Structure 1
Amino acid sequence: YDHFFIEHNKGHHRDVATPMDPATSRMGESIYSFSLREIPGAFKRAWDLEEQRLSRCGKSVWSLENEVLQPMILTAVLYAGLLAFFGPLMLIFLPIQMAFGWWQLTSANYIEHYGLLREKMSDGRYERQQPHHSWNSNHIMSNLILFHLQRHSDHHAHPTRSYQS
């Protein structure tokens, strides 16, 4: 999920609860269909956002200043170190761990935005994000695992406010 920081802050926060957001699940869409759309869609958007940012600076998307590539490189170095230290057993563990992490974040996105859409105004823009454009979850286990995402709607309605925990 190396793309998450860029996609979440620069793409998802802008387009949440609109058809342009790959991280907003649609009414009637299964979690499996959503995951097949969200995971590649979010990565592509993060990559495109970084390509645009770097292009404005006159740099290549393959530059080490690419904030999608940076965590990918760190992950590759970490995985290589784990593989060197623990051996081939890691070839079983790491893909399972990666899939579990992807599934946790994808499931959270699916639940937190399921079927919610902002109204498109006559000028073509979407209404301002409000707390009712995101679902909250006040369950103890999900809050322990997902770092207090029960305050998710406030996070979107007031993105510059410090996250409440």
Structure 2
Amino acid sequence: HELGHKHRRADRIAAQIANGLVGYGHFCIEHNIGHHVHVATPEDCASARMGESIYRFMLREIPGAFRRGWGHERERLAKRGAGLFSWHNDILWSWLITLGIACALIVLYGWIILPFLIVHHFYAWYGLTQANYVEHYGLMREKLPGGRYESCKPRHSW
């Protein structure tokens, strides 16, 4: 999570690898481009609403982050003149890491490892979901007369 906020290429690659370990390659893209812009607004799938259980939040946040991550990556690639399924797609690179690790573990331990990988990935996704849930639970920025939201302030995060 923190490495994904850095600007050095090595840090961003490390974040991509870390997210690749758990099959969550879209996270840094969605988090930095979507969540940071829309945090504490109804448009942010990663900000829990007042009264929303963590389970309901999870069912909204995980698929929402996936869709938004892919949408942001599509826009980034289009600006570069690259297609969605090109070598420039950071989500696909992360998924190659996920696939490579899974294949290596299956070769080493056999198919018996597959349930472990599924549970491992789920717990990692759920851990990030828990962090998002707690960080912004019930906090909303005020919508200003022009339709924009007030600037994000410390009070918009626990």
Q: Of the candidates 53, 74, 86, which is equivalent to residue 97 of structure 2?
A: 74
CA apart distance, 1:124:
1.0
SS at structure 2 position matched to 1:68: helix
Stretch deviating more after TM superposition (87-96 or 12-21): 87-96
Q: Which amino acid aligns with 1:30?
A: S
The answer for the alignment partner of 2:35 in structure 1 is 12
C-alpha separation in 2, matches of 1:2 and 1:57: 20
Residue of structure 1 in register with 2:11 after alignment: none
How far apart, in 2, do the equivalents of 1:15 and 1:76 lie?
31
Q: What whole-Å deviation, never above 9, does each CA across 1:83-127 have from its counterpart, x for those lacking one?
A: 111212211210110111011111111111111000111111111
Higher relative contact order (CA 8 A, sep 6+): 2
In the alignment, the residues of structure 2 paired with residue 126 and residue 85 of structure 1 have an alpha-carbon distance, to the nearest angstrom, of 52
* Count of aligned residue pairs for this structure pair: 135
Task: Structure 1 unaligned segments of length 5 or more: list them.
Answer: 136-165
Superposition pairs of residues 49-128 of structure 1, within 5 angstroms: 49-128=72-151
The TM-score with structure 1 as length reference comes to 0.79
Q: What is the TM-score when the length of structure 2 is the normalising length?
A: 0.83
The one-letter code matched in structure 1 to 2:61 is E
Question: How far apart, CA to CA, are the structure 1 residues paired with 2:67 and 2:139?
Answer: 22
* Paired AA for residue 124 in structure 2: G
Percent of aligned pairs with the same amino acid = 51
String of CA shifts for 1:30-55, please: whole Å, max 9, x gaps.
Answer: 11111111000001001000101111
Runs of 4+ in 1 over 3 A off after TM superposition: none
Describe the SS at the equivalent of 1:88: coil
User: Structure 2: which amino acid aligns with 1:45?
Assistant: R
Q: Is 1:2 aligned with 2:48?
A: no
Distance 1:69 1:39 in 2: 18
Partners in 2 of 1:18 and 1:67 — Cα distance?
27
Structure 2 residue ranges without an equivalent (≥5) = 1-23
- The root-mean-square deviation of aligned C-alpha atoms, in Å, is 0.9
Q: Does 2:63 correspond to 1:40? A: yes
